[in-house]
Amino acid sequence: MLAKVSHGGRTTRTDILEELNKLPPSEQLDVVESALHRVREQLQSGKPTGAVERRQRLSIAADALKTEYETDRELTAFATLDADEFIASPRK
């Protein structure tokens, strides 16, 4: 149902509500009750929310690649520029 309405791989709240409105009221209620049940289960289980889970995955990935970023010359080639003063151009 929602695969067709995603924007850049992400389905928006507006998309979900528009699709929900296409269903008969009894099915809308079923969908909302199911979603509420899932959210309650996630909150009660202590399962990380999307944002927390994303940060955890990014942290794990960064830790896994730390040595590469510290030693691989191709990844550190521009690190010498870090000491240079950066002057931003004025916004137009």
* pLDDT value at residue 86: 65
Residue 87 identity: I
This prediction's pTM: 0.43
Whether 89 is covered by a domain: the verdict is: no
Please give the Cα distance from 39 to 32 (Å, whole number).
Answer: 11
* pLDDT value at residue 19: 93
Whether 32 is covered by a domain: the verdict is: yes
Which of the residues in the chain have pLDDT under 50?
Answer: 3, 5-6
Whether 74 is covered by a domain: the verdict is: no
Whether 90 is covered by a domain: the verdict is: no
Whether 44 is covered by a domain: the verdict is: yes
* pLDDT value at residue 20: 92
Whether 46 is covered by a domain: the verdict is: yes
Q: Which domain holds residue 62?
A: 24-67
Counting the structural domains of the chain, the total is 1
Cα 56 to the center of its chain, rounded Å: 11
* pLDDT value at residue 31: 93
